[in-house]
Each structure stands twice: as structure tokens, then as C-alpha cells.
A and B are shown apart, each in its own frame.
Chain A
Amino acid sequence: MSYLRLNGLTKRYGDTLATDAVSLEISKGELIVLLGPSGCGKTTTLRMIAGFIEATSGDIVLEGQAITGLPAHRREMGMVFQNYALFPHLSVARNVAFGLEMRRMKQAERDERVAEMLQLVKLDRLADRLPRQLSGGQQQRVAIARALAIHPKVLLLDEPLSNLDAELRQDVAREIRLLQQDRKLTTIMVTHDQQEAMAMADRLVVMRDGQVQQVGAQEDLYERPATPFVARFIGNSNLLVGSHTDAGFRTETGTHIDLAGRYQGAGRATLALRPERITLGETGQVRGTIVLSSYMGATVEHVVALDDQTRLIARGASSGPAATPRFAGGQSVFLSWPAASECLFDGGDAPIPALSHSINERISSHA
């Protein structure tokens, strides 16, 4: 049985659905990331779990008990806000102690817990400071300590890294992840940054327009996206719209592309290709012209225009045995990719399974 379950969680504002029947099963100790562009309903979902927003319909079930009707102060969730929302008139220690005071914990026990929490986030020496006397990163650690002090049933993180300097972000992400694994904290995090999400999550939930697009581990989302939206949002796939037949793929403007795999049926389709899986060479599945070539350090990126001027991005290693040859603007090249790296979606955005690879895939997914 799952630890936390969302059951058709819907929030309606007038005519718009902020979330549309979001269902999710979360195991104890798992870090789930809700990922999506702004307005996709991820924050609304988080705030409904915290109890700050009342769901229009649906259930939230924690440890087998529905908490949907419970007010925020009785839910035992530890929320870390995007702007941290530290109490500006209270010292760091008093901020961390706040939740314990609300629980009327005894002074001695409380002091001990606060000290433990501050040590955990390495802020024990700043206990008497006011929040405004701390740096952004320190404030965030206070927010985490404050949320963890009450031993929450679920830790909720709302864009925890967005207010930090770019250079600090990766370190903090790693620290949060280590802390979460170490203490086996069931955590739900919201972010719009897919790299952040990939780096921290056990499983990701990609949302769009209030609906869950796909739930899965990093590899599921990357290798087997459920919709073109997921293919583009995770790892920026090239998306080509057109139709497919036994003979291959044809873009809307008529360029023919040989597909690496074989697919059942024919009709409207979207082809998703990962930039880093495209190889440029003298032979391949479709011909194009180099528009732009950029050396990015670890990688080399080429923008290639097909004959109908559709643009694709191809990315490869800049050095090593698999290094991408560099092409100059205007040069004619052929693009190729392995069958496992092309994703074809039908007119309803559902993936079309590849015939020739169905056996291999079955083996790998059972491994």
C-alpha cells in the first residue's frame, strides 16, 4: 500500500481547471518531483497536499487515512516555501522552534531538537541571528530545519533552488538529496527545471495544463516519453509533425525521412528525436544543411535545416572516440540515429510501439 495517495485531485477556479484529476501513488521515503512549465498545476497540487488550498474534488490519503478535509495546521506536513517564508521577527532558533512550540513540546526537549536540527543544516553557530542577517543559502537551510523539526510526515519543497545563485544550486540540490536519503524522508518537490528534477528525483511526474502527462523514473521519461510534450520537456527533443507509413515519415511540408524502426499502421504522427542521439555524416536517414555550428565545451552543437527548412538540433561529444566531426555553415550532411532513439507518436499523442524492437524492449524492461 502506498504511503501517500492522490486520488483524482481536481481544483477548479471558475471555468479553469488548475489541476484535472491528478492521481499519484507515493511510497515511504521516496522523493517525487512534480515537473512542468508554469501554470501546469504542480504548485496547486503541492499546496493542496499541504492544505493551503481546498480541492474541488478528489482525495488525499496519507497512511490509509483521508486527510482531504483536514486544515493545514493538523496535517503534519513540512513545507519549504520558494521564498522560505521565515518569520522575520524571530531568531533562527525561534524559527526552528516554532512548530515545536505549537505542539507545546517541553522546553528542554525543544531546545535539544532545535540544536539537533541546526547542526543538521550546519547553522548551529547562527542560532541567534535574525533571518535578514543571513545569506539566501543560509535562509533556505533554516527553512529546511524548521520544516524538519516537527518530524513531518511528508516534506514539501516548493521550487527550493530557484532563489539561489546558479553556482550554489547544484551543491544544495545534492545536499538536499543526501539529507532526504539519509533520513528516509518522503518528499514531494515542485520545480520547472528539468535538470534539477533529474538530479534529485526517485520518480518524476511531468504535468501540463493541470494533467499528469507521465510518471516514471528519469530513464523512463527520457527513453520512453509518453507524449511529445514529455519528449520535448525532458531533454529538449526535436519534434517533427507529419505522417508515417510503412515507407517512413513525411513532414507536413513534404520532406521524406527514413525511420530506423518499423511501425504499425499509418497516419498522422509526431516524430521525436533526441539531439544527442543524432549522428551527422555522409550517409543517413535524411539530408540537411548546416545552419549553425557551436562549440559548447564538452559538446558540439549543430543546427541543421532539412530541405523544407525544418530545423533540428544535433549534439555530440567534442572529443574522445565518439567525437562529432565539426561542420561549417552551408555544408550538406546526412542525419542518422539508432532505432531505439526515435519516438513516434500517433495523432492522439500516444506512442506507437516499434515492431522490430518490441522484443528487445521487452527484455530490457524486465531486466
Chain B
Amino acid sequence: MRQKLPLAAAGLLGPATSVVVLMLAAPLALLFRDSLNRFDVTELMIETVTAANYTRFFTETFYWEVLRTTILVAATVAVLCVALGLPLAWRLARTTSRWKSLMMLLVILPLFIGSTVRTVGWMILFARNGMMDSVAGLFGTRVDLMYTTTAVIIGTLSVNLPFMVLTLQSVFEGIDDRLTEAAQGLGATPSRAFWRVVWPLALPGVMISAILSFILGMNAYATPVLLGGPRFQMMAPLVFWEFNTNSNWPFSAALAFILMATTLLLTSLSNFLVPRRYRA
């Protein structure tokens, strides 16, 4: 039995591993190779090994600005997601109402509509002479959110929030309600019981869902393109722009790698925000 175990494990891990290698690792390796090539207007891609694409990114302030905007939007969205999703998820996790599954469905419902279609909905709301503007017009002011950072943040938030609520809800449901009762029985007010007992226990899960939201925000494409407009730049649209419009595959590959590396770096750094004893 003991002899066969490694074989069985290999058999179980095999299919998933080969899919990951074929579909993820190999293309990434190819992409990285491309990022070291040189771009030529006529020949498009010339095989060589150069760090020129990376140097270009780090020497031109324009790209720095794009990366900064991307991080800013993704981080703001992640923080807002926690702030807005937390109370909702907490109520959902602790409710004994028989409408609970209906409430859950309402949270998931936006996910039934593709994010592009939803963004078009936001466009109708935000546009000049759109719904919000018209309503504001009745009160003699104007609301012009279209093509602003705020619009992009709201749009991305609406995409990420349902994921946030779902993960946080299961985090809270994993925390025994008896702990809250125990804390209250020992003299803690409901809010102290939450912050002293539930919050530290939920923190690793909250971090994970914030990271999830951050990653989704870093890689957002449709929302910044549609709600941010032509002059608003984020990394994912920029990658596509270089790839598609400029046909600059090497630089586009380098941008993709920089985006990925930044996301990974910030994600792993965020781990240190959770005190060690709270880590799962």
C-alpha cells in the first residue's frame, strides 16, 4: 500500500498539472521570451535578447503614471470593497431569516450579467445628459462622471463587490457564533465582541478577499476602457493597445510581465499586514 501511494498521488495530480503546464506555464514562457525581443516598424519582431523594453518602461514617466493609476484604482476599489462588503457579508452570515437564500441570490445576480454589459449600464447613468446628469439638472446642478477616475472606481467596485461579499460571508460563517456569545457573556458589548474576537479571526479571510479584489482591479480591462475613456490609462488596456494598435508585441509582453510582477509583489507584501498569530 505504502509503495503505491506516490504513484496514486502522481495519477491524481497529473491531469491538473499537465493542463497548468500546457495552458499557463508554456505560454508564459513564450511571452517572456517575446518580451526580450526587439520591435521594428517594418519587421515587427526581431529575435534578440535585450532588456530595452523593460528599460523603456522604467525610464518614461508616462508608463510610471499608468502603473500608478492602476495600483491606485485597484487599491481604492479593494479598500472600498472591504468597507462596503463587510457589513453586508456579516449580516448575511448571521441572519436566520428564511429569505437568506433570496438575499444571497440578489448579491450574486449582478454576476449573471457580463461586466461589459453592466458597464454600459453605468455609461447610461454617468454620461452627459445621462440619467444622473438629468436628475441633477432638476436641482440646477450637473453631474458629469463619465470618463473620470471616479467612474472607473465605481464601475470596478460594482464588478468586484459580489465576489467580496461571497468570500467574506463564508469567512464569517466559518467563525462560530458561540465565540461572540462567549465574549458577550464575559462582559464585551456586541461591538467589542466583534472587534476583539470576530475581526481578528476574520482578518486572514478579509485579506484574501481584498487581494482578490485588488488582483481583479489591477487587471480590469473593459471598465477602464468604457468608463475611463480614451485619455484614461490603466495597464491592461495599455497592454492590448501596444499589442493590437501598435503591433509592438515585445513591449506589450514586457508590460504584461511588469503588471503581473507588480500584482504578485504587492499581493505577497500584503501578507505582512496580517499579524502572524492570526494567520491560518
Contacts and interface: CB of A to CB of B under 8 A. Distances in A.
Interface string A117-151: 00000000000000000000000000000110010
Contacts of B65: none
B98 to A, nearest CB: 11
A78 B183 CA distance: 11
A146 B178 contact: no
A81 to B, nearest CB: 5
Contacts of B193: 73
A102 interface: yes
Given A89-B200, A89-B201, A73 B189 contact: yes
A89 B176 contact: no
Which of B178, B185, B192, B201 is packed against the most chain A CB atoms within 10 Å?
B185
B185 A89 contact: no
A99 B187 contact: yes
Given A81-B181, A87-B183, A89-B278, 18 more contacts: A51-B184, A72-B185, A73-B189, A76-B187, A77-B185, A79-B181, A79-B185, A81-B178, A85-B182, A87-B197, A89-B277, A98-B183, A98-B188, A99-B187, A102-B183, A146-B186, A150-B186, A150-B187
A77 B184 CA distance: 10
Contacts of B178: 81, 83, 85
A241 B125 CA distance: 76
A50 B182 CA distance: 10
A262 B18 CA distance: 87
Interface string A183-194: 000000000000
A88 B183 contact: no
A295 interface: no
For the complex of A and B, the 5 pairs showing the least CB-CB separation, nearest first, are A99-B186, A102-B187, A85-B178, A85-B182, A72-B184
Contact of A71 (B182, B184, B277): B184
B113 interface: no
21 contacts: A50-B181, A52-B185, A71-B184, A71-B189, A72-B181, A73-B186, A73-B187, A73-B188, A78-B185, A79-B182, A79-B185, A83-B176, A85-B181, A86-B182, A89-B277, A99-B186, A102-B192, A103-B187, A146-B182, A146-B186, A147-B185
A153 to B, nearest CB: 12
Interface in A35-88: 50-52, 71-79, 81, 83, 85-88
Interface in B16-62: none
A79 B182 CA distance: 7
A50 B183 CA distance: 12
B89 to A, nearest CB: 20
A279 B278 CA distance: 64
B106 interface: no
Contacts of B200: 89
A50 B201 contact: no
Contacts of A85: 176, 178-179, 181-182
A74 B189 CA distance: 8
Interface residues on A, range: 20 to 34
Contacts of B190: 71, 73
B210 to A, nearest CB: 19
Contact of B186 (A71, A83, A98): A98
**Binding site secondary structure of chain B:** helix
Interface of B: 176, 178-179, 181-190, 192-193, 196-197, 200-201, 277-278
B30 to A, nearest CB: 45
B188 A102 contact: yes
B182 A81 contact: yes
Contacts of A72: 181, 184-185
Interface string A3-32: 000000000000000000000000000000
B181 A52 contact: yes
Contacts of A103: 187
B182 A73 contact: no
A151 to B, nearest CB: 11
B185 to A, nearest CB: 4
Contacts of A102: 183, 186-188, 192
Nearest to A104: B187
A73 B189 CA distance: 6
Contacts of A147: 185-186
Which of B178, B189, B192, B197 is packed against the most chain A CB atoms within 10 Å?
B178
A71 B186 CA distance: 12
A47 to B, nearest CB: 8
Contacts of A79: 181-182, 185
Nearest to B197: A87
Nearest to B188: A102
A76 B184 CA distance: 10
Given A83-B178, A102-B192, A88 B184 contact: no
Contacts of A74: 187
Contacts of A150: 186-187
B153 to A, nearest CB: 33
A49 to B, nearest CB: 11
Nearest to B185: A79
Contacts of B187: 73-74, 76, 99, 102-103, 150
Nearest to A91: B277
B250 to A, nearest CB: 49
B96 to A, nearest CB: 10
Contacts of A50: 181, 185
A102 B200 CA distance: 17
A137 to B, nearest CB: 19
